[in-house]
A and B are shown apart, each in its own frame.
Chain A
């Protein structure tokens, strides 16, 4: 009655993400071709979506006319200055919260209260405080990047292996040496991954910041296109903005590669 011996069935597959190159690009290409076809054939009306080739033409035009840099340069400056202020202050406050019980008790509730405020709602207030020009834009982006950086930083400081700190203490290292050589490098991975979120929020807030009193800037360009119902320019602006997001993400990945080489 015994059956012939048969191989044990394999049941261990799946649940393991694999690197598939080019699929992401293919999805983009297929989607864009589909929209191109739809807008040309007419089953997507010009009111619904712009023709991708027209968007490309708009981008080329933008580049040739020199307006590209006229819009991108102020936006990049705002993003750089605003998020530099927000991130530096955020790391400083986050480290303080991580190290001092008094700072933790005093500042964590404050940060928790600041975090959920839609920063856009504060823009009119910032205009009064910091002026309608660059000041209010920097302030908006700075505040927007500040809170997530604080939360990421003090979480990262909390997660620094305490045995490393004890080791430092057991060797009689000075307090500042422990912070500089053990706590900060140990918190760096957490701070950098917080930076991804902070800078994405910074890019989102760029559009909001340029709502008030900006003649040039990617956000102003998108808002203008939206109010003119100019879909080609609207999408051209969106393409620039999401390229900016990809670029920032890539830069952080490079930074991680260099600084976190010690991670397995």
Chain B
């Protein structure tokens, strides 16, 4: 009896704590939603919104579903196994949008001058053979997870800017790409800084450039959902984006702009550590998490020109159908677009 009543009391307390918070459009009842995520720092906004109760305040009962790569997430949204997800724009996501299954509704991770962004890496062997600038990658093997992945896009943009050609080598998973790069099976790759920096420190690979120099204002990841959610579940979708943005604000303040106290930054890293690098102890995970902090767009704003550029590239490579338009891919009615 005692036990039950105590738990009851705690529940009441927790409920009371949320009461005074206003702002998020409240939904009639707790809506159960599934959010797809990768265990990366770049997905921190969702984790923060969940841990700090922003989802619950918005009346959303969130359950995370974790994935190994970006493209399967798009398929999960299409099949209804996940409601919202944050990931890079991939060929699969665009194809599914063309079939009327998915919609991009907001922006998340962005490259920004002055903030550490994605790095261009080369293997030790290639570095020693003189590949010390991106231009020297001409004719070299460039690691990608799959054709039409963001790595493919980045490689292509770098190649176009430098006037070189790359040999794209699909390896399915980021882990396989890392392994191939370390052992010198491939020559170059680009990846978020929290993965790039520790690799470079080990001496097995070398950083030779920044992606931001080639793709300024690159909208790396976007928030997306099923076309049905975007069209018919406005309240729920708005609630999700609002809570997600609050999480993003906390994250940016603590780790990107560093405007908060050191304690708050510490608390933020601890929160993220619950999801990211869980297999490492906190002290070892902390630098990786701090290094991986890239800006998550305020208010989930979406950089339309970057999305448009990515879409055009996918079309020009013949990876997606020519017939697909921005309207099919993006529902710009939720967030501010630029």
- Which residues of A pack against B, CB within 8 Å? 45-47, 124, 127-128, 131-132, 211-215, 220, 223-224, 227-230
Contact = CB atoms under 8 A, between A and B. Distances in A.
B46 interface: no
Nearest to A221: B147
A227 B141 CA distance: 20
B279 to A, nearest CB: 19
Interface stretch (B20-28, B103-111, B179-187, B257-265): B179-187
A77 B75 CA distance: 33
Contacts of A45: 99
Contacts of B149: 227
16 contacts: A46-B99, A47-B96, A131-B185, A213-B180, A224-B147, A227-B71, A227-B90, A227-B92, A227-B149, A228-B90, A228-B91, A228-B320, A229-B78, A229-B92, A229-B95, A229-B96
Interface residues of B, number: 31
A213 B173 CA distance: 12
B319 interface: yes
A47 B227 CA distance: 13
B230 to A, nearest CB: 16
A213 B99 contact: no
A212 B170 CA distance: 6
A211 to B, nearest CB: 5
Interface in B212-232: none
Nearest to A220: B170
A230 B99 CA distance: 10
Nearest to A123: B176
Contact of A124 (B100, B146, B179): B179
A213 B170 contact: yes
B146 A224 contact: yes
A211 B171 CA distance: 6
Given A132-B185, A223-B146, A224-B147, A47 B99 contact: yes
A-side interface mostly = loop
A117 to B, nearest CB: 19
Contacts of A127: 179-180, 183, 185
B331 to A, nearest CB: 18
Interface of B: 71, 74-75, 78, 90-92, 95-96, 99-101, 141, 146-149, 167-172, 176, 179-180, 183, 185-186, 319-320
Contacts of A212: 170-172, 176, 180
A230 B169 CA distance: 20
B170 A229 contact: no
A211 B170 contact: yes
A236 to B, nearest CB: 14
A212 B173 CA distance: 9
A214 B92 contact: no
A215 B170 contact: yes
A46 B45 CA distance: 33
Given A227-B91, A228-B147, A132 B170 contact: no
Nearest to B70: A227
Nearest to B185: A132
Contacts of B168: 215
Contacts of B147: 224, 227-228
B101 A47 contact: yes
Contacts of B95: 228-230
Nearest to A224: B147
Nearest to A232: B321
A249 B74 CA distance: 37
B138 to A, nearest CB: 17
A213 B101 CA distance: 30
B148 A224 contact: yes
B118 to A, nearest CB: 20
A212 B100 CA distance: 31
Contact of A229 (B75, B172, B185): B75
B91 A132 contact: no
Nearest to B147: A224
A7 to B, nearest CB: 61
Given A211-B170, A220-B170, A230-B95, A47 B78 contact: yes
Sorted from nearest, which 4 A-B pairs have the closest CB atoms? A227-B146, A228-B91, A132-B185, A229-B95
A187 B337 CA distance: 72
